[in-house]
């Protein structure tokens, strides 16, 4: 399915299941309830996801979009949308996923769709409560959000394989075209 977990927070990784939001062709990764199950298991939130229904998928996508808009609003110094505030609070105040310790010392992660969404909503609110360095990938078409935990606070890309490499290839090609650029090009690139 190609899910990636590069955001440093589950809520932001979840928002990233809709990719290239600013491009002409955004890529939706959660097309069916089975896709949602696969994401939840890949994220390590549940050992075995329950059988989600279409209504669970719709609720998950509604929450995901609220997560994306609200994190973006924080990035852009805007107030969140009132509907998103209500939705996020409604989910976050409900019981979330809780792992169970078994007598043999192993653990089991199980839970319902409602508990899953509560956990994801609370994760975003925890993130917003702290002065974390949430950033947007420097690739202008990529809309993946992540927490920059680098010591120098200079992480620019969501993940090198998806965007950093593309940007490096473009920069390389740009440098190697410089020989035949017109003077006008030089002025615009400063
Ligand atoms: Zn990116």
Residue 59, token pair as written in the block: 């609720």
Distance 111 CA to ligand 1 centre (A): 31
Question: What backbone torsions phi and psi does residue 175 show, to the nearest 5 degrees?
Answer: -60, -40
Residue range 4-51, pLDDT digits in tens? 999 999 999 999 999 999 888 899 999 999 999 999 999 999 998 989
| Ion ligand 1, residue ranges at CB < 5 A | 137, 139, 142, 144, 158, 163
Fold of 10-158: Jann2411-like fold (1.10.3300)
Residue 51, token pair as written in the block: 């059988």
Residue range 69-128, pLDDT digits in tens? 999 999 999 999 999 999 999 999 999 999 999 999 999 999 999 999 999 999 999 999
């Amino acid at each position: 399915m190609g899910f990636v977990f590069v955001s440093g927070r589950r809520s932001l990784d979840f928002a990233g299941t809709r990719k290239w939001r600013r491009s002409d062709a955004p890529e939706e990764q959660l097309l069916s309830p089975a896709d949602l199950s696969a994401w939840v298991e890949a994220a390590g939130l549940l050992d075995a996801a329950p059988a989600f229904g279409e209504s669970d998928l719709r609720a998950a996508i509604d929450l995901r979009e609220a997560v994306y808009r609200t994190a973006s609003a924080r990035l852009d110094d805007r107030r969140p949308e009132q509907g998103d505030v209500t939705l996020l609070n409604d989910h976050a105040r409900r019981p979330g996923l809780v792992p169970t310790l078994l007598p043999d010392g192993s653990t089991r992660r199980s839970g319902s769709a409602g508990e899953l969404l509560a956990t994801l909503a609370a994760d975003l609110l925890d993130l917003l409560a702290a002065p974390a360095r949430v950033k947007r990938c420097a690739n202008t078409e990529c809309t993946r959000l992540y927490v920059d935990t680098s010591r120098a606070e200079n992480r620019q890309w969501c993940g090198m394989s998806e965007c950093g490499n593309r940007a490096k290839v473009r920069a390389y090609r740009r440098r190697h075209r410089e020989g035949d650029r017109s003077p006008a090009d030089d002025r615009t690139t400063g």
